[in-house]
Amino acid sequence: MSISKEILDKIALSRREYQLIVERLGREPSEVELGMFGSLWSEHCGYKHSKALLKHLPLGGQRVMVRPGEENAGVVDIGDGLVLVMKIESHNHPSAIEPYQGAATGVGGIVRDIFTMGARPIALLNSLRFGPLSDLHNRYLFGGVVGGIASYGNCLGIPDMGGEVFFADCYSANPLVNALCLGVAEGKNLVKARAYGEGNLLMLVGADTGRDGLHGASGLASRTFEEERELRPTVQVGNPFLEKLLIEACLELAETDWIAGMQDLGAAGLTSAAVESAARGKGGIEIDVLKVPRREKGMTPYEVMLSESQERMLVIVKKGYQDKVRAVFDHWELHSDVIGQVTVDGLARIKEGEKVVAEVPMNLLTSPPLYRRRVKKPRWLDELQSFNVTSVPDLSPREVGPVLLRLLASPNIASRHSVYRQYDHQVGDNAVVLPGNDAAVLRLKGTKKAISLTTDGNGRYCYLNPYVSGAITVAEAARNSACSGAQPLAITDCLNLGNPERDDIYYQLKECIAGMARACRKLRIPVISGNVSLYNETRDEAIYPTPVVGMVGLIEDVTRHCASGFKEEGDLVFLLGDNRTVDSSLGGSEYLELVHSLVKGSPSIDLDLEKRLHRCCLEAIKRGIINSAHDCSEGGLAVSLAESCLLGGLGFNSRSWNLEGRLDAALFGEAQSRIVVSVAPKLAAKLEAIASKWQVPVRKLGVVGGGRFIIEGYIDLSLEEAREVWWGGLEKYQ
Amino acid sequence: MKFGIVVFPGTWSDRDCYYALNDVLGQEVDYIWHKETDLSKYDCIILPGGFSYGDYLRPGAIARFSPVMASIERFVCQDRLVIGICNGFQVLCEAGLLPGALLRNDHLQYRCQRVQLKVENNSSPFTSQCKGEQVLRMPISHYEGRYYADDVTLAELEANNCVVFRYSTSTGDITEAANPNGSLHNIAGIINKKGNVLGMMPHPERACEPILGSNDGNLIWESIVVHL
């Protein structure tokens, strides 16, 4: 075999994989064929290291309409004839190289996944990670990514409801940019991504095809990278205006019966769009690359098939409806060209005029080798987890106030308004609870219902304990939904990790998925779609394993929703959930890193309590008993209380709160399964009765009101002072 | 009476305007594709927000050449009402139907947030249902919303009572801090001299129900209905 290592590296295939292709094909692949294999067998498209693990996630459920992988995005039924379509996807590598365009095209890609199914996109969220903002390059990446998301999403007129952003050293060279899109459709209008029906036509719509983005799937997303500047030309440039026209045209088509299917062109471009949709339709395809409209002269068939030019859709037009479909695209001033047809021979046949340049059985392309390995817990992890809290001194009462201010000013906790005010979050006339709360809430016009949306993920926890943190990620997202009054409906997940060919990374991946699966089962929440982003490392330094969960929840009556800020003077403040002070809850906390520069210990969670807590909170909101609900996460209980004050513009006063155990753990420990709620005094007894019904511990903390944040004997801050540091903590870097 | 909402390629507030007028206020509304030229059945034309033609070149710079715009010019000459919101305001300025221009926000960032607007002129067809100096709450959402005009034009606008809305504090004070984009004189909305064309950057159609945080935007639609 004469294939060079250089070529194999370019398409990220191993020599053994190449041999497997030759064996299965019975001959050496042509250049185009090899390129197609490289893309489709990449981790990004083929999930070769993760598929065996991902199948442990619970995928089914009463409301689940399609299983992950069957379509471009997951679908859940919410009654009233409506379905929600949701997916999250990473654009980490492109964003590291070219933050503005990388993030922008990440939004463009995820939006296409949604409207390709006939659903109107109604919300975007983003989960972002960067290195510390003290570094100029990280500020450039942060500003570029937020600007790119804003420029693309705002132009489309899809509200961006926030999400999350965190900072840690490990993301310095490798930021994470995960984009989530949610759409709504009438169930009967759902469009399948299937190419079927002999003689049906393959119509390519939207942008012309150029040389941009070659090897995006196989190169960028499937290997670590060292020489990023060299790769800059592989990042695509987005045209959101064109995408907006595609949305309207494709949604118009979704209401007709003129098309058999639709599939967007994303990673691996025409190759994956054509092959994957034909494989789902159990047929074959024939494409003539000469019919593909080009942006540049002299493109080879290889380049046409692997281009990742943005804003392109493949529409499978039923025989005889070509003119009608074309008229819709003409109205929206979009190019459309028939480039091939559906066949029944099970082959992917690519021609250049009359010359066949690739002819491969479909099933070979779509069945990459799947890897599964036995790995042991790495020893370095034992060391990290064996953290002894007594090795750090407790805080004195005098120190507590200043530490609280430091935490509020930390970019990981400070107000995110300077990010989400750059996103149009109000277009659509649906936003009921805005970004900046535990979960955003959007009402669904024409119904009494609303949905909540949140993304969550804590890489630091996951670095310390991937199994437990997998579970915590799911639990926290569900807790955030519960705080908004929404029953968790479904999850879409994005698993961002390092190189899975390394044992310790594979261990993280495996444990993290197992933990997520356990929490999903316990809380009865299905995973309906997702994405893996592996090889997030530079010079052998991997990022924290960072699972991100996007969750949609359902509120049956939109008037019964809840936000995080205190609402009324005189309300009583209670803590629902675990109220013991456990020293080990300092493990992995923001406090421990910020004040003691330690990333050690191990988080823990009691999923039974978690489940009861959600039910308790949901019942209290449904019955209109509580006025606010905010979960305790980064920064612990003190930060959670302060945030409820700052969001509501009201103070807090606690006179009789006897703090037990270590002060730092009591105030800044990050024990899970806790929600701070406020309630009118006359309804307090009802809240206590609901808590007792669900066997959820409840503890009175204080009273809402005044202009100060007071825990008598420990903290006495003016709200203005707290607001200033919290408001400016992240804003000052933008 | 009938409202017409113009849809350019890239427009997106068309649906929200339709919702506020039709679903909330029960008015008759049609969409008007930008290639249409017959506006005879409409009493008020809305140029809604969005990114017409992707805001490429300059916001509104391409849309102003759409076939519908010549008809809108005639419509304005016939003393009928036109309201441009956000991108619509930009289109009206580009078309010369309103004076001045909308430049990039002074901080060079997109801005989506709730603002307060002081009603400076409540005798226009668009504001008759507002109280004098009333402060309205509604969202803005734009990258190019900094109103600019030369000194002579500004003086003329002020002298003729053409400044209808100014960014203000919740108590109606016109301060620099209340100005979200660096607009001259805190200008958020203006009318032409005849008073039948309104351009405003904030989005009244997004303030149409209490559950969205405000329904102050309805005062504008209701004023139009009363006028007609």
B12 CB neighbours in chain A (<8 A) are: 156-157, 244, 427
B203 flagged as catalytic: yes
pLDDT in tens, A387-405: 888 999 999 999 999 999 9
E-state strands within A440-540: 440-443, 450-456, 487-496, 527-533, 537-538
- Across the interface, do A426 and B51 touch by the CB < 8 Å criterion? no
Separation in Å, CA of A625 to nearest CA in chain B: 19
- Across the interface, do A155 and B55 touch by the CB < 8 Å criterion? yes
**CA quadruple A282, A287, A292, A296: dihedral, nearest 10:** 110
- Across the interface, do B203 and A240 touch by the CB < 8 Å criterion? no
Q: Which residues of A touch B (CB under 8 A)?
A: 147, 150-151, 154-157, 239-242, 244-245, 332-333, 420-429, 431-432, 443, 445, 558-559, 734
3 state DSSP class of A386: coil
Separation in Å, CA of B54 to nearest CA in chain A: 5
Q: Which residues contact A201 (CB under 8 A, 6 or more apart)?
A: A316, A317, A319, A322, A338, A340, A341, A342
**CA quadruple A574, A576, A581, A585: dihedral, nearest 10:** -130
**CA quadruple B32, B214, B141, A552: dihedral, nearest 10:** -90
B53 CB neighbours in chain A (<8 A) are: 241
- Across the interface, do B112 and A425 touch by the CB < 8 Å criterion? yes
Q: Per-residue pLDDT for A428 more than 60?
A: yes
- Across the interface, do B56 and A156 touch by the CB < 8 Å criterion? no
CA–CA gap between residue A424 and residue B113 (Å, rounded): 8
Strand partners, A352: A355
Among candidates B15, B49, B54 on the partner chain, residue whose Cβ is nearest the Cβ of A240: B54
Q: Per-residue pLDDT for A154 more than 90?
A: yes
Separation in Å, CA of B193 to nearest CA in chain A: 31
- Across the interface, do A426 and B112 touch by the CB < 8 Å criterion? yes
Mean pLDDT across A40-69: 84
Mean pLDDT across B58-76: 97
Name the catalytic one among B86, B130, B162, B208: B86
Q: Per-residue pLDDT for A731 more than 90?
A: yes
CA–CA gap between residue A544 and residue A46 (Å, rounded): 23
- Burial of B9-24, coded b for 16+ CB within 10 Å and e otherwise, reads bbbbbbbbbbbbbeeb
Which carries the bigger pLDDT value, residue A603 or residue A2?
A: A603
Separation in Å, CA of A339 to nearest CA in chain B: 26
pLDDT in tens, A18-51: 999 999 999 999 999 999 999 999 888 888 888 8
**Do residues A495 and A533 lie in contact, with contact meaning Cβ atoms separated by under 8 Å?**
yes
pLDDT of residue A497: 95
Mean pLDDT across A99-108: 96
From the list A653, A93, A142, the residue with the least C-alpha distance to A418 is A142
Phi-psi group of A208: left, alpha or beta (phi > 0 → left; psi -120 to 50 → alpha; rest → beta)? beta
CA–CA gap between residue A84 and residue A566 (Å, rounded): 31
Q: Which of residues 125-184 of B touch A (CB under 8 A)?
A: 139, 141, 143
CA–CA gap between residue B182 and residue B140 (Å, rounded): 13
Q: What is the mean pLDDT of chain A?
A: 93
Among candidates B51, B139, B209 on the partner chain, residue whose Cβ is nearest the Cβ of A426: B139
How many A-B residue pairs are in contact by the CB < 8 A criterion?
84
pLDDT in tens, A589-601: 999 999 999 999 9
Q: Which of A7-16, A526-535, A567-576 has the highest mean pLDDT?
A: A567-576
State the complex-level ipTM.
0.96
Of all residues in chain A, what percent are helix, strand and coil, respectively (each to 5)?
40, 25, 35
Q: What is the mean pLDDT of chain B?
A: 97
Q: Which residues contact A595 (CB under 8 A, 6 or more apart)?
A: A403, A406
- Burial of A602-638, coded b for 16+ CB within 10 Å and e otherwise, reads bbbbebebbbbbbebbbbbbbeebbbbbbbbbbbbbb
Separation in Å, CA of A423 to nearest CA in chain B: 6
A245 CB neighbours in chain B (<8 A) are: 9-10
Separation in Å, CA of A586 to nearest CA in chain B: 36
Q: How far is CA A597 from the centre of its chain?
A: 28
From the list A331, A335, A345, A136, the residue with the least C-alpha distance to A253 is A331
- Across the interface, do B206 and A427 touch by the CB < 8 Å criterion? yes
CA–CA gap between residue A632 and residue A674 (Å, rounded): 6
* Joined tokens for residue A649: 């513009």
CA–CA gap between residue A362 and residue A281 (Å, rounded): 11
Mean pLDDT across A561-589: 94
From the list B10, B12, B6, B3, the residue with the least C-alpha distance to B35 is B6
- Across the interface, do A422 and B141 touch by the CB < 8 Å criterion? no
Element (H, E) at A701: strand A698-704
**Do residues A272 and A40 lie in contact, with contact meaning Cβ atoms separated by under 8 Å?**
yes
Quick check: B54 contacting A, CB < 8 Å? yes
A151 CB neighbours in chain B (<8 A) are: 110
Strand partners, A180: A88, A125
- Across the interface, do A428 and B15 touch by the CB < 8 Å criterion? yes
- Across the interface, do B141 and A427 touch by the CB < 8 Å criterion? yes
Strand partners, A351: A288, A356
- One DSSP character per residue, B147-178 reads EE--HHHHHHHHHTT-EEEEEE-TTS---STT
B49 CB neighbours in chain A (<8 A) are: 427
The count of residues in chain B is: 228
Q: Catalytic residue numbers of A?
A: 44, 91
Quick check: B36 contacting A, CB < 8 Å? no
pLDDT of residue B222: 97
Q: Which residues contact A646 (CB under 8 A, 6 or more apart)?
A: A408, A415, A565, A719, A722, A723, A726, A727
Q: Which residues contact A724 (CB under 8 A, 6 or more apart)?
A: none
pLDDT of residue A382: 94
Mean pLDDT across A446-464: 96
pLDDT of residue A230: 54
pLDDT of residue A225: 53
Give the number of other Cβ atoms within 10 Å of residue A228's Cβ: 16
From the list A161, A190, A160, the residue with the least C-alpha distance to A82 is A190
Which of B16, B56, B104, B110 has the highest number of chain A CBs within 10 A, making it the mutation to test binding with A?
A: B110
**Residue A675, CB half-sphere, CA atoms under 13 Å: how many?**
41
- One DSSP character per residue, B59-90 reads TTTTGGGSHHHHHHHHHHHTT-EEEEETHHHH
- Across the interface, do B212 and A431 touch by the CB < 8 Å criterion? yes
pLDDT in tens, A214-256: 766 555 555 555 555 455 566 788 999 999 999 999 999 999 9
- One DSSP character per residue, A257-323 reads SSEEEEEE--TTHHHHHHHHHHHHTTSEEEEEGGGS-BSSTT--HHHHHH---SSEEEEEEPTT-HH
B109 CB neighbours in chain A (<8 A) are: 147, 150, 421-422, 734
Separation in Å, CA of B203 to nearest CA in chain A: 9
At residue A202, φ and ψ (nearest 5 deg) are -95, 115
Quick check: B65 contacting A, CB < 8 Å? no
pLDDT of residue A144: 97
3 state DSSP class of A403: helix
**Do residues B128 and B227 lie in contact, with contact meaning Cβ atoms separated by under 8 Å?**
yes
pLDDT of residue A10: 80
Q: Which residue of chain B comes nearest to A426, CA vs CA?
A: B206
Structural domains for chain B: 2-227 (3.40.50.880)
Q: Which residue of chain A comes nearest to B20, CA vs CA?
A: A429
Please state, for a pLDDT cut of 70, what percent of chain B lies above it. Answer: 100
Among candidates B13, B15, B109 on the partner chain, residue whose Cβ is nearest the Cβ of A422: B109
The residue with tokens 């990374």 is A505
From the list A84, A53, A54, A50, the residue with the least C-alpha distance to A68 is A54
**Residue B59, CB half-sphere, CA atoms under 13 Å: how many?**
28
- Burial of A448-479, coded b for 16+ CB within 10 Å and e otherwise, reads ebbbbbbbbbbbbbbbbbbbbbbbbbbbbbbb
Q: Which residue of chain A comes nearest to B52, CA vs CA?
A: A241
- Strand pairing category for A201-206 and B44-47: unpaired
- Across the interface, do A332 and B139 touch by the CB < 8 Å criterion? no
- Across the interface, do A429 and B16 touch by the CB < 8 Å criterion? yes
- Residue type at A390? T
Q: In what order do the strands lie in the sheet with A259-264?
A: A259-264, A312-317, A201-206, A336-343, A284-288, A347-352, A355-361
Q: Per-residue pLDDT for A63 more than 90?
A: no
Any idea what the Cα angle at residue A529 is, between residues A526 and A534, rounded to 5°?
120
CA–CA gap between residue A152 and residue A146 (Å, rounded): 10
Strand partners, A454: A551
pLDDT in tens, A626-648: 999 999 999 999 999 999 999 99
pLDDT of residue A223: 55
Mean pLDDT across B100-117: 97
E-state strands within A137-199: 160-167, 176-186
Separation in Å, CA of A590 to nearest CA in chain B: 29
- One DSSP character per residue, A612-669 reads HHHHHHHHHHHTT-EEEEEE--TTHHHHHHHHHHHHHT--EEESS----S-HHHHHH-
C-alpha distance from residue A20 to each of A50, A139, A364 (Å): 19, 45, 10
